[in-house]
Structure 1
Amino acid sequence: MTGPPEIISSSDAVLLDFDGPVCAVFGGLADHQVAAGLRELFEGELPDAVDRSRDPFDVLKYAAATTGGFATVVEHRLRELESRAVEVAPPTPGAVAVLESLSRQAIPVVIVSNNSETAVHAYLQAHGLTNVVADVSARTNADVSELKPQPHLLLRAASFLGVSPERCVMIGDSVTDIEAAQRAGAKCIAYANKPGKREQFEELQPGAIVDQMAELI
């Protein structure tokens, strides 16, 4: 594998995932609490898998697949809860240093996230990071078909910057980030921030894998 800093320096732009590489979105307000808050919007019983899931996106996807326009209500509530969550979300060690390093190198960064655009902007503003991020390409509605692993958000980010996806590198901590990058034709660096992820990522053959954000510098 080529070293992560070399992959970045040979790219025209960085597409950076938010939850994980920048902060732990649900590190303060837990994901299972948010999922429970979304389930309260439903009447009647939910499928066991949805009822037991800790992942708020499982609830949103269920709403989008089965209840038509009600998905908009669920997505709006998720946006509210995400905005509350980022107020207490722990920053990822090394993330600010990476953003500042990219800024010094004049490599533009777009945050590409399945989280709401509102929550991402709120976090960046609260932490004084708006000046080191060129744009945000994140969830703006209840259309889950636009979310990663689909390439839509990455392609939108590349279009905003006026660069080809092939000249971008996606940095993310999930399988869906790698899959979205591959579908968009972008390079990818995987951030293995939890035990077992490195082995999982190796099967997908990203350009590089790091265990700490500081390895990107």
Structure 2
Amino acid sequence: MPAAALDTIETRAARTARPRTGADLLVRTLEARGTGLAVVTDHATLAVRTYLQRRGLDDAMNGGVHGRPTDLGRLMPHPHSPRQALDRLGVPPARCLMIGSTVAEQSAARVLGIPFLAFAPDERTRTRLLAAGGEQILVRDHTPLLNSLRAFGSP
């Protein structure tokens, strides 16, 4: 499938995609704390921007949206996109947290030394991430993250 056709399909899907419970609140809570945020994905950049705009979250991504590169050899687990986000945020990998749900994302984070939090909303995702090994924390939803932020209070 040509890249432009895939971009169109993904952008159309972004217009109706439903967020995971607590995702919007997590982004706004982190933003209010002054946390730099970025999106790193192998999906179309336009699709992600469309979704973020629809949810009113596009202004929260001060680290940018780093979508599918034109060079498909740089799809994750290649560290190209996460490295772009690190450069834009201006922080070292150890001071970041990458939240992802794929083995490719986990591998890209590992290559760069970015701590990885595995978002595994279902058993299939959990099994794949655990089989890939490495140090990680697995969560099924955003509640533990929100609770931790609340426990630490204001920045």
Normalising by structure 1, report the TM-score. Answer: 0.63
1:102, 1:139 → 2: CA distance?
25
2:38 to 107, 110, 114: 110
Give, as a single letter, the amino acid of the residue that structure 2 aligns with 1:191: F
Q: Which runs of 4+ in 1 moved over 4 A?
A: none
The alignment partner of 2:76 has SS state of coil
What corresponds to 1:197 in structure 2? 125
2:5 to 77, 102, 123: 77
1:164, 1:133 → 2: CA distance?
18
2:126, 2:55 → 1: CA distance?
29
What corresponds to 1:177 in structure 2? 105
Is the contact made by 1:189 and 1:206 (CA closer than 8 Å) also made in structure 2? no
Deviation at 1:196, TM superposition (A): 3.3
Higher normalized strand content (fraction of residues): 1
What corresponds to 1:139 in structure 2? 68
Deviation at 1:83, TM superposition (A): 0.8
Using CA pairs under 8 Å that are at least 6 residues apart, name the structure with larger relative contact order, 1 or 2.
Answer: 1
1:194, 1:161 → 2: CA distance?
31
What corresponds to 1:150 in structure 2? 78
Could you say if the C-alpha distance between residues 178 and 140 of structure 1 is closer, same or farther in structure 2, counting changes exceeding 3 Å? closer
CA deviations on 1:12-63 (whole Å, 9 max, x unpaired) are: xxxxxxxxxxxxxxxxxxxxxxxxxx3xxxxxxxxxxxxxxxxxxxxxxxxx
Asked which structure has the greater CA Rg, the reply is 1
The alignment partner of 1:196 has SS state of helix
Q: Which runs of 5+ in 1 are unaligned?
A: 1-37, 39-73
Question: Sequence identity, in percent?
Answer: 30
Does 1:215 find its partner at 2:148?
no
Deviation at 1:166, TM superposition (A): 2.4
1:190, 1:130 → 2: CA distance?
23
1:96 to 7, 21, 24: 24
CA deviations on 1:161-190 (whole Å, 9 max, x unpaired) are: 111222211100111111110011111000
Deviation at 1:140, TM superposition (A): 4.2
Give, as a single letter, the amino acid of the residue that structure 2 aligns with 1:117: T
Deviation at 1:81, TM superposition (A): 1.1
Q: How many residues align?
A: 144
Deviation at 1:96, TM superposition (A): 0.5
Is the contact made by 2:76 and 2:108 (CA closer than 8 Å) also made in structure 1? yes
The alignment partner of 2:104 has SS state of helix
The alignment partner of 1:189 has SS state of strand
The alignment partner of 1:114 has SS state of coil
Normalising by structure 2, report the TM-score. Answer: 0.86
Is the contact made by 1:190 and 1:206 (CA closer than 8 Å) also made in structure 2? no
Q: Which runs of 5+ in 2 are unaligned?
A: 147-155
